[in-house]
């Protein structure tokens, strides 16, 4: 499906918002851009934490975030952020194309989901295995396997990423440079998730100061007000 551009006022953007999901970042971006939008809410199944079938009517994968903008239906947070900034940003929240800062900006947009979220999701899965009901004789075996996997692979991988991010924030105030950008919005979810499930704390002061800066932004607060408080599925 092609992307349509409108000469006049475009139809209102609709954010198909699943509770406790990455779609919170899309609301924040829309608030930063000052765009009108509508929220259609979907609730996870409390047992499986999966999206309801009604979300699959919007996109076959039934995942969030998804936006509709006129005839366009678009999923994946990185693609949505790039589209909204290019379509409506008017030079805001993105360095100038063709510059080194722009390449850095695009790198962080892809890194957030392509690299950083992977070990965090693995840790979430193995943590849930340890807490899941199972026969008493299987539980110690499952916990032992999970613990060894986390200790040998998952936790060191997460620590490598967090150390990398901490070091990068020593180079500039924001990830793409000294100006806040949509890359910071994209990175916010995995960094917030790291405080909930990966041990991110004051031992990495730049990352903690970064979280305080984003949480203090008026658009971030407005997105929380409209979308509702969200947990990180820890």
Confidence label for 53 from pLDDT (cuts 50, 70 and 90): confident
Token pair of 227 as six digits? 């979308």
Q: Say yes or no to pLDDT of 90 above 90.
A: yes
Say if 57 falls within a structural domain. no
DSSP code at position 232: -
Domain with 130, as residue range(s), is 100-217
Confidence label for 3 from pLDDT (cuts 50, 70 and 90): low
CA distances from 146 to 116, 124, 139, 149 (A): 20, 11, 10, 5
What is the average pLDDT across 65-73?
A: 93
Domains in the chain, number: 1
pLDDT digits (tens, 9 = 90+) for 97-126: 999 999 999 999 999 999 999 999 999 888
Q: Say yes or no to pLDDT of 86 above 70.
A: yes
**Of all residues in the chain, what percent carry a pLDDT higher than 70?**
93
pLDDT digits (tens, 9 = 90+) for 141-159: 878 888 888 888 999 999 9
Which range has the worst mean pLDDT, 32-36, 43-47, 126-130, 204-208?
43-47
CATH of the domain at 180: 1.20.1050.10
Our CA dihedral for 156, 112, 50, 145, rounded to 10 degrees, sits at -10
Confidence label for 9 from pLDDT (cuts 50, 70 and 90): low
State the DSSP string of 84-100: HHHHH-TTTTSPPTTSH
pLDDT in the model for residue 234:
36
Say if 121 falls within a structural domain. yes
Say if 92 falls within a structural domain. no
Say if 43 falls within a structural domain. no
Q: Taking the CA atoms of the chain, what radius of gyration do you get in angstroms?
A: 19
pLDDT in the model for residue 52:
83
Confidence label for 216 from pLDDT (cuts 50, 70 and 90): very high
**Of all residues in the chain, what percent carry a pLDDT higher than 90?**
62
CA gap 139, 44 in Å, rounded: 27
Q: Residue 15 forms beta bridges with which residues?
A: 39, 67
pLDDT in the model for residue 6:
45
Say if 10 falls within a structural domain. no
What is the average pLDDT across 198-211?
A: 96
Which range has the worst mean pLDDT, 7-16, 66-75, 105-114, 130-139?
7-16
Say if 138 falls within a structural domain. yes
Say if 90 falls within a structural domain. no
Say if 54 falls within a structural domain. no
Mean pLDDT: which of 20-24, 42-46, 200-204 is highest?
200-204
What is the average pLDDT across 86-96?
A: 96
pLDDT digits (tens, 9 = 90+) for 27-41: 999 999 999 999 998
């Amino acid at each position: 499906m092609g992307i349509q551009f409108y000469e006049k006022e475009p139809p209102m953007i609709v954010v198909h918002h699943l509770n406790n999901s990455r779609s919170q970042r899309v609301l924040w971006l829309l608030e930063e851009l000052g765009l009108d939008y509508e929220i259609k809410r979907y609730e996870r199944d409390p047992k499986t934490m999966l999206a309801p079938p009604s979300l699959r009517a919007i996109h076959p994968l039934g995942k969030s975030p998804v936006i509709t903008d006129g005839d366009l239906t678009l999923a994946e947070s990185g693609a949505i952020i790039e589209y909204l900034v290019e379509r409506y940003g008017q030079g805001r929240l993105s360095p100038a194309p063709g510059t080194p800062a722009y390449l850095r900006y695009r790198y962080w947009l892809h890194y957030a989901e392509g690299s950083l979220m992977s070990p965090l999701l693995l840790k979430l899965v193995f943590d849930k295995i340890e807490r899941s009901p199972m026969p008493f004789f299987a539980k110690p075996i499952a916990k032992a396997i999970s613990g060894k996997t986390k200790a040998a692979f998952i936790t060191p991988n997460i620590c490598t990423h967090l150390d990398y991010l901490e070091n990068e924030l020593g180079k500039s105030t924001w990830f793409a440079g000294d100006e806040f950008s949509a890359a910071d919005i994209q990175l916010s979810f995995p960094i917030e998730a790291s405080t909930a499930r990966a041990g991110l704390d004051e031992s990495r002061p730049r990352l903690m100061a970064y979280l305080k800066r984003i949480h203090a932004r008026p658009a971030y607060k407005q997105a929380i007000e409209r979308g509702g408080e969200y947990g990180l599925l820890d």
